[in-house]
Chain A
Amino acid sequence: MTHAISRRDVLRGTGALVLAFSLSRHAFALTETGASETPLRGLPGSLDSTPLLDAWIRIEPNGNATVFTGKAELGQGIRTALMQVAAEELKLPIARLTLITADTGRTPNEGYTAASHSVQDSGTALRNAAAQVREILIGEAARRVGASASELSARDGVVIGPGGFHFGYGDLVSEQLLHVDAQPTSILTDPRDFTVMDRPVPRVDIPAKVTGGAAYVQDMRLPGMVHGRIVRPPSYGARLAALDAGPVETMPGVLKVVRDGAFLGVIAEKEWTAIQAMRRLAALARWDETAELPDEARLPDALMALPSRDTTILDVGQPVAPSYAVDGLFSRPYLAHGSIGPSCAIARMEGDALTVWTHTQGVYPLRNALATLLAMPQDKVRCIHAEGAGCYGQNGADDVGADAALLARAVPGRPVRVQWMREQEHAWEPFGPGMVAHLRAALGPDGSIAAWQHDVWSQSHMMRPGPPGTLLAARDIADPFPPAPPVDLPMPEGGGDRNAVPLYVLPNARAVNHFLPEMPLRGSSMRSLGGYLNIFAIESTMDDLAGLSGQDPVDFRLHHLADERARTVVTEAAERFGWKSRPKAPAGSGYGFAFARYKNLEAYCAIALEIAIDQDTGRTVIQRAVAAVDTGQVVNPDGVRNQIEGGIVQATSWTLFESVRFDRRRITSIDWASYPILRFAHVPRHIEVHIVGRPGLPFLGAGEAAQGPTGAAIANAVRDVTGRRLRTLPLDAATVRAAMTASSLPTHSPS
């Protein structure tokens, strides 16, 4: 029953997605989650697209609850947070909940688990659904005893009334009781009465992860399971020129060599055999390579020279000034998600039905893409989310799902587990795009910003399935799908232009998004999208302007901030850090500050930090970072802290070390030796996260709040130490050393 309904919703969701891919920028308010921003029914969160309460919550006869979410655990702790939300409003102990996450056979379609939307979309839906379920149960109890619902209350899975009567939830629920549409409003628990929400409930997934339980798709062992590996081309667009797979086919333990056009895979009983067979096959294949990659050393120029589709996303007052006090070109290289566990999927073809266990961020979109790829009806393909290593955006998860599906077709009935090799993940994942931002700003006589112009260049940050052409395998098979058309995510969330509109009060400002339809390197969404570079550029410029006008960087920001919540986190971070009373930094040390509200829609985050730079090596270490964050109503404060700490550390790595390397043909950063990331020696020596509580306000996602401010705060601290404004990421040791050398010279030259 519920199945049929949820399928209808599924189709609606799919329709929205396809529309979004084909319509122009402003025609449809698409978000990175693949869902529409335009309300269909005016219901809270994802209830709007899946209104039936029992699509979200079912009460078992024993009174326990099964809770469904279309979002997936990506290591961000969403499983625990959503259980807290549901438990709180259901008035049921968390131990009596079972949470089913993203599964096209069972859960609502909530698009992608992305863009820090999970608590906002699914958490809001579950909170309201749970509250309404609770009220329905209370109402049912009232009906049975002929009392008024207002006299009854629910606690610990029991509805109790004045006469001392009580009903367990299991006794109240009947087949159709919860099979009703949600209402627009719910009776929500007052934050003062929370017993589960806003508490640091320990994560439910951690015990298995620290004891060797089967926690990941990588750990699944299905009966009869075999192992697959893929041979990928050496470079984008390479064509298979010759291959004699015979020697691999006869290797002991090899079940099959799969070849469909240039899509090459091996299947073996044992994983190690599959790897050896893959290596063998790779050595036998001959390719014609055609890729013409940009000159890595001049990436910003190459990007700005590409044809662009320009959109003015902000235009107020008179943004053009006769001259600019600050005028700088900021850039970042392509960045790798770099999941520690390479992507993995298991697929099984049984009869005419395919099941794929996958750590995709979007089970429904992947399901649809696979169905098209394999020419199967959508209802014959089921994608079930199983955790992988942290992905931070679109890594190889979807691609390996397609790889596994294609291999599974070759050995019907047997589950095929495919995991990518390290070099495949590094070379083939869709990178966070290389970007350029040009900022110009002028100061007025009163020390306020008089004019502001922001131009940003970037290719698409959203090339997820949907269209089968988003999947690597779909391009290599004999009858290939065309590459998917580039998607320019529109404002207000934006893609490359995410956070390009400052939150500051600027009477004269313009921001232009130069969307690059061409994609020199494969790219898609990576944590914070364009926000990381745009915030880096804006917050660097704010600091320079503060300096030029002789104002303290924090005061200068406050002077230009009207949003009270923004002012609060800025003030909080500054106070907790001791910004005002910060001592003069010892030689080689300095302070940096930065702030942003992610997407101008999600969490507010301000970061103050102190760094120490070794003068002669340029080695930079964060001595102390203090973050203040406002995520609206907090579900799990420790979860928020974990996300912000992680965001700071990850963004430190992006900022100091990382760039995807390539020659004119191939990606050359294919492992941790060629793509170094932060190791323990560079861990910040101290991180503090202060949460500004906002009881009762809407949930705001926290997973991507810290990245932009961290990069900018580091750059501002480097400027504090060296007097040099560095605008080209990464701020690696050689770059910082050069700045230090320049600043250590006896005479004072202007920066």
Chain B
Amino acid sequence: MITFTVNGTQRSVTSDPDTPLLYVLRDELALNGAKFGCGLGQCGACTVLVDGEALFSCITPVMLLEGRSIRTVEGLGTVDEPGPLQAAFIAEQAAQCGYCIAGMMMRAQELLERIPDPDDDDILAALEPQLCRCGTHMRVIRAVKRAAQALAQAQALAQASEGAR
């Protein structure tokens, strides 16, 4: 049995320790965010965050994750209350088929936590491991920028209200 947290909730899983995280998330925990795209670490469809860092869940055996903290796109918000990154992707209509998008968003989330105000080069470099076949790239880039702005505004607001107090 391996225990870790997924989107803030502690989970104990019974899958064999050599099972890639992707199948544990999808099969055992019934989460849809991480997708199977290649199983080879080549496309990024399965990207999730582990302790804040993006990795390919399709080639990460779950035995490496004891005690660690995993985040999937489900952890960024809900349909009814989308998080800032999700809201930005919706606002930019940044999907065609959308199959690649959850992985893109986790990679973007990592970027924004590392660099809150990324420039174009930062975004291109960060997203390089992620493939999209529909050609939604332009909108993904716009959505990441929009999310960065929204986060900055939220922060400024928070600081302002802090200052006002």
Contact = CB atoms under 8 A, between A and B. Distances in A.
Contacts of A271: 23, 26-27
Interface in B73-98: 73-74, 76-79, 82, 86, 89-90, 93-98
A207 B73 CA distance: 12
A270 B20 CA distance: 12
B124 A680 contact: yes
Nearest to A272: B23
B128 interface: yes
B32 A677 contact: no
A467 interface: no
Choose among A75, A272, A388, A677 the residue with the greatest number of B CB atoms under 10 Å from its CB.
Answer: A272
B132 interface: yes
B146 interface: no
Contact of B138 (A206, A210, A645): A645
A680 B130 contact: yes
A642 B93 contact: yes
Contacts of B37: 340-342, 422
Given A271-B26, A272-B23, A672-B131, A75 B97 contact: yes
Contacts of B27: 227, 270-272
A672 B43 CA distance: 7
A451 interface: no
B38 interface: yes
A612 B76 CA distance: 38
A215 interface: yes
A272 B101 contact: no
Nearest to A648: B135
B35 interface: yes
B105 A210 contact: yes
Contacts of B128: 679-681
A202 B98 contact: no
A422 B131 CA distance: 13
A650 B79 contact: no
A203 B86 CA distance: 14
A387 interface: yes
B56 interface: no
A340 B132 contact: yes
B89 A202 contact: no
B158 to A, nearest CB: 24
A419 interface: yes
A76 interface: yes
Nearest to B23: A272
Contacts of B82: 207, 210-211
B136 interface: yes
Interface stretch (A54-62, A167-175, A216-224, A378-386): A216-224
A390 B99 CA distance: 8
Nearest to B32: A219
Interface string A302-342: 00000000000000000000000000000000000111111
A156 interface: no
A206 B133 CA distance: 17
B96 A213 contact: no
B104 to A, nearest CB: 9
B124 A203 contact: no
B160 to A, nearest CB: 29
Contacts of A387: 97
A468 B26 CA distance: 33
A205 B23 CA distance: 24
A401 interface: no
Interface string A625-663: 000000000000010001101111110010000000000
A681 B121 CA distance: 9
B15 A270 contact: yes
A684 interface: yes
A212 B93 contact: no
Choose among A227, A341, A678 the residue with the greatest number of B CB atoms under 10 Å from its CB.
Answer: A341
A34 B124 CA distance: 41
Nearest to A679: B128
14 contacts: A75-B99, A75-B134, A76-B96, A209-B102, A211-B74, A340-B97, A341-B36, A341-B99, A389-B99, A645-B135, A680-B123, A681-B128, A683-B124, A683-B141
Interface of B: 15-16, 19-20, 23, 26-27, 30-33, 35-40, 42-43, 45, 72-74, 76-79, 82, 86, 89-90, 93-102, 105, 120, 123-125, 127-128, 130-139, 141
Given A205-B98, A419-B36, A421-B39, 14 more contacts: A207-B86, A210-B86, A211-B86, A212-B32, A212-B33, A212-B74, A213-B79, A214-B32, A218-B35, A275-B39, A341-B37, A390-B97, A649-B137, A680-B124
